[in-house]
Amino acid sequence: MTKTALITGITGQDGSYLAELLLHKEYLVHGMLRRSSTFSTSRIDHLYRDRHEESRLRLHYGDLTDGQALTNLVLAVQPDEIYNLGAQSHVRVSYDQPVYTLQTIGVGTLNVLEAARQLMRSKPVRVYQASSSEMFGKVLETPQTERTPFNPQSPYACAKAYGHFQTVNYRRGYDLFASNGILFNHESERRGETFVTRKITRAAGRIKVGLQKKLFLGNLDAKRDWGYAREYVEGMWRMLQHHEPDDFVMATGRTASVRDFCRLVFEQLDLDYEEFIEIDPNYFRPAEVDVLLGDATKAKEVLGWEATTTLEELARIMTAHDYDLALREAHAKRFDAD
């Protein structure tokens, strides 16, 4: 029987890959998107262009902070699975907008859980909550597992910890099938351009073709466990196919610094990153998460999921994509000048 899924955050990096995966698995996919004065669907437009997929992808306006409208949507759509990926997801921005960040992530998650609780009265529903390795914050042990205590140190991480614990609470209190995916950083050619990996690959491509001279960054010594987003959405889906709800870390098990990533990317283009990078203290954070390193053994043993794309491959995929983008930008610029 055709399954129905509702994705919040469908226009984001993960939402777009998850929509693709679920459509491929013959789901009917509903996505909630925020009304915006400009189009925000560039990551999913290709799904509409494919006529076959179009019939199984439906978009609805909504906002995580509007609980009533969210409940109305959930009751109208009657999803078998809800993937709550919507969020103000930028850690640095969460210092500038702490209340809004809490509203979208903390209250937003509560709104999703409440809507699911309403739906549960008439049909079973499963909820995936996008938790984050950022909750480990100033880490209390390395590597981090599902048993590592959280020690959040950004408004974003505090909000995610709230959403995480409410998800556990609804599982225990109301018997809702609700699972947390504690995902470590995952990147791709669809990553937002203000996250550090994409900022680096975009800049390197533009520098190579002469469209940019410098790249301004903050802390080059921070270390992250970086995987490939395409693979991580498969893990989200597997969590909801498991016979019971639970919490799972998803990570590669390798950590590397921002500096390492710069080196890998610029090397792809035969450039020396040290010639182009300047430190701008504006990009430092009031409190930094120095090192994240995940242990995804549980996800491998229980769900059969593991990350396979190496950091080198990830850097290659993203660099090739953004070099091509820069070439097209340069070409368009020359064409405009003619």
Binding interface with ligand NAP (CB under 6 A): 8-9, 11-15, 34, 36, 40, 63-65, 85-89, 104, 130, 132, 183, 185-186, 192
Q: Considering 17, 83, 156, 170, which one is annotated as catalytic?
A: 156
State the residue for tokens 């010639």. 275
Q: In the annotation, is 134 catalytic?
A: yes
Vertex 25: Cα angle to 20 and 29 (nearest 5): 60
| Residues contacting ligand GDD: total by CB under 6 A | 22
Instruction: Name the segment binding ligand GDD (CB under 6 A); options: 40-48, 132-140, 244-252, 308-316.
Output: 132-140
Q: Considering 16, 89, 132, 154, which one is annotated as catalytic?
A: 132
Residue 45 has which token pair? 């437009």
Instruction: Return all residues near 177 (Cβ < 8 A) that are at least 6 apart.
Output: 124, 125, 126, 127, 171, 240, 244, 245
C-beta separation of 5 from 34 below 8 A: no
Instruction: Name the segment binding ligand GDD (CB under 6 A); options: 4-12, 20-28, 107-115, 282-290.
Output: 282-290
One DSSP character per residue, 263-286 reads HHHHHHTT--GGGTEEE-GGG--S
**CA 194 to CA 324: how far, in whole Å?**
19
- What is the dihedral sign for C-alpha 48, 197, 248, 130? negative
Residue 4 pairs with which residues in a beta bridge? 28
C-beta closer to ligand NAP: residue 88 or 319: 88
Q: Considering 20, 81, 134, 231, which one is annotated as catalytic?
A: 134
The nearest distance, CB 2 to ligand GDD, in angstroms, is: 31
Q: Which does 194 bind (CB under 5 to 8 A by kind): ligand GDD, ligand NAP, none?
A: ligand GDD
User: What type of residue is 174?
Assistant: Y
Instruction: Return all residues near 301 (Cβ < 8 A) that are at least 6 apart.
Output: none
Q: Which does 63 bind (CB under 5 to 8 A by kind): ligand NAP, ligand GDD, none?
A: ligand NAP
H/E run at residue 173: helix 155-174
Q: Which does 104 bind (CB under 5 to 8 A by kind): ligand GDD, ligand NAP, none?
A: ligand NAP
Residue 137 has which token pair? 């914050």
Subset of residues 220 to 279 that bind ligand GDD, contact rule: CB under 6 A: 222, 224, 258
C-beta closer to ligand NAP: residue 90 or 300: 90
Instruction: Name the segment binding ligand GDD (CB under 6 A); options: 264-272, 285-293, 300-308, 317-325.
Output: 285-293
**Residues identified as active-site:** 132, 134, 156
Contacting residues toward ligand GDD, per CB under 6 A:
89, 91-92, 132-134, 184-185, 194-196, 199, 217-219, 222, 224, 258, 283, 285, 288, 292
